[in-house]
């Protein structure tokens, strides 16, 4: 019995020490959460890795265990500052939806599709890509995303949408090639392709503002989905790419069109012809990513963008999205004039001006 107790103590000490060291690597900027987790899983055979394991146990519980270990075994088990900060922020792991990683908390009582989960937080909706292991864009995912977008469009109270991944290791690794090659009916294939393009255009043209929280690999169809969003917030370990050329095909969901509008024609041609991914920092420098943040801060950053955008005047948001980036300047100016008139004559404009003069926060009606 005593030997078993001693063995368990040694195992627990090893696990806690490995966890503390893993957190310190992240806290000191040596490595990102994803890299630490994958390194411990693949190199040390710890499954799941120490950070995901801690999220499951609860970071508040892990903090208590380290504090006890510090008292019993010394300063080498002192809780890292990052762990204390996460606990103080209420980011306790899976049970709160956020810890070192972030986790879906889909709406209860609602029927959830197979490949995408819907979570709503007041005026914000979150579309969680949820098809292990790599969230491939499959025919089923296109149908599920379309159905959920129909639901979102029908709800006036939702004003901003986040697209995120439930898998810490990947945002979306591209199209499900096997799924598409199984489609033997050309008419059905064309209908599906048109449906995918139609969905992405609906997202772009919607009065709802969309934000992609790109936590890791966004390749092929995943990159195209992110580009169809209004904004892209990227984790430091994220990457973007259009590797279809390596399969002898070309991008099929707007990669030859949206990429050039974001990074310029020359760089887009390079990315599409070489098929090599770029880092999050490179994506930000080129204009593909709007902001790059540490991995463990990604979801908070994306939520902050979503909440800020959800709080803007709906009519003005709709008009700005509608008239922006016309191909011809004269056409754009005419569109802006019409959009200004529509926004200026709205109830939202009257409320915004009144709130500004009265030094109070406006209450938008979306009319």
User: Long-range contacts for 350-353 (Cβ within 8 Å, ≥24 apart)?
Assistant: 352/313
Which is catalytic among the residues 123, 224, 236, 318?
A: 224
Cα separation, 171 vs 213, in Å, equals: 8
224 assigned to active site: yes
Instruction: Give, in order, the Cα–Cα distances in Å from 185 to each of 171, 191, 252, 265, 354.
Output: 30, 10, 18, 34, 58
Query: Catalytic residue at 236?
Result: no
- Any idea how long the chain is? 367
The secondary structure of the chain, three-state, reads CHHHHHHHHHHHHHHHHHHHHHHHHHHCCCCCHHHHHHHHHHHCCCCCCHHHHHHHHCHHHHHHHHHHHHHHHCHHHCCCHHHHHHHHCCCCEHHHCECCCECCCCCCCCCCCCCEEEEEECCEEEEEECCCCCCCECHHHHHHHHHHHHHHHCCCCCCEEEEEECCCCEEECCECHHHHHCCCCHHHHHHHHHHHHHHHHHHHHCCCEEEEEECCEEECHHHHHHHHCCEEEEECCCEEECHHHHHCCCCCCCCCCHHHHHHCHHHHHHHHHHCCCEEHHHHHHHCCCCEEECHHHHHHHHHHHHHHHHCCCHHHHHHHHHHCCCCCHHHHHHHHHHHHHHHHCCHHHHHHHHHHHCCCCCCCCCC
**Considering 244, 265, 276, 297, which one is annotated as catalytic?**
244
Return all residues near 230 (Cβ < 8 A) that are at least 6 apart: 204, 209, 210, 211, 309, 321
Using CA atoms, how far residue 124 sits from 210, 306, 314, in Å, is 10, 7, 13
Indicate which residues carry an active-site annotation.
Answer: 224, 244
């Amino acid at each position: 019995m005593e030997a078993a107790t001693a063995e368990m103590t040694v195992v627990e000490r090893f696990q806690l020490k490995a966890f503390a060291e893993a957190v310190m690597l992240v806290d000191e900027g040596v490595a990102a959460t994803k890299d630490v987790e994958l390194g411990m899983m693949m190199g040390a055979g710890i499954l799941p890795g120490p950070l995901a394991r801690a999220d499951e146990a609860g970071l508040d519980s892990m903090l208590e265990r380290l504090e006890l270990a510090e008292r019993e075994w010394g300063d080498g088990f002192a809780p890292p500052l990052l762990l204390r900060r996460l606990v103080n922020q209420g980011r306790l792991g899976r049970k709160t939806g956020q810890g070192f990683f972030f986790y879906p908390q889909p709406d209860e009582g609602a029927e959830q599709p197979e490949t995408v989960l819907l979570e709503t937080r007041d005026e914000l909706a979150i579309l969680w890509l949820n098809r292990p292991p790599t969230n491939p864009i499959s025919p089923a995912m296109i149908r599920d995303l379309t159905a959920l977008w129909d639901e979102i469009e029908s709800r006036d109270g939702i004003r901003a949408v986040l697209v995120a991944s439930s898998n810490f290791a990947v945002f979306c690794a591209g199209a499900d090639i096997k799924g598409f090659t199984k489609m033997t009916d050309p008419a059905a294939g064309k209908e599906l392709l048109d449906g995918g393009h139609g969905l992405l255009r609906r997202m772009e043209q919607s009065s709802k503002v969309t934000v992609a929280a790109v936590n890791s690999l966004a390749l092929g169809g995943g990159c195209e989905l992110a580009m169809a969003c209004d904004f892209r917030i990227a984790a430091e370990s994220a990457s973007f790419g259009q590797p279809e050329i390596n399969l002898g095909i070309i991008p099929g969901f707007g990669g030859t069109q949206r990429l050039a509008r974001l990074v310029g024609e020359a760089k887009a041609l390079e990315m599409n012809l070489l098929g090599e991914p770029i880092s999050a920092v490179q994506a930000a420098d080129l204009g593909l990513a709007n902001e790059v943040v540490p991995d463990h801060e990604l979801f908070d950053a994306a939520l902050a963008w979503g909440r800020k955008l959800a709080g803007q005047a709906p009519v003005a948001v709709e008009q700005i999205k509608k008239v922006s980036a016309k191909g011809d300047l004269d056409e754009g100016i005419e569109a802006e004039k019409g959009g200004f008139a529509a926004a200026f004559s709205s109830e939202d404009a009257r409320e915004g001006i009144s709130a500004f003069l009265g030094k109070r926060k406006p209450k938008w009606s979306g009319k």
